[in-house]
Amino acid sequence: MLDAIRSLFAGRADATTSRETPDVDPAHLAACALLLDVAYADGEFSAPERKHLEEVMARHFGLSGDEGQRLLAIAEEERQKSVDHFRFTSVLQQHYDLGQKMVLAEVMWGLVLADGEIAEHEHYLTRKISNLLELQPAYLSSAKAAAAERAKQRSD
CA–CA distance, 40 with 46 (Å, rounded to integer): 9
Angle between the N-to-C axes of helices 86-95 and 120-132, in degrees from 0 to 180, rounded to the nearest 10: 50
Q: What is the DSSP letter of 14?
A: -
Q: Which helix (H) or strand (E) holds 30?
A: helix 26-40
Q: What is the pLDDT of residue 22?
A: 60
Phi, psi of 15 (to 5 degrees): -85, 5
Q: What is the pLDDT of residue 12?
A: 40
Q: What is the pLDDT of residue 21?
A: 56
Q: What is the pLDDT of residue 10?
A: 41
User: Which stretches of the chain drop beneath a pLDDT of 50?
Assistant: 1-20
CA–CA distance, 68 with 82 (Å, rounded to integer): 21
Q: What is the pLDDT of residue 5?
A: 38
Residue 111 · residue 47 · CB < 8 Å: no
Residue 38 · residue 111 · CB < 8 Å: yes
Q: What is the DSSP letter of 85?
A: S
Q: What is the pLDDT of residue 7?
A: 44
Q: Which helix (H) or strand (E) holds 87?
A: helix 86-95
Q: What is the pLDDT of residue 15?
A: 43
Q: What is the pLDDT of residue 40?
A: 93
- What's this model's pTM, rounded to 2 decimal places? 0.82
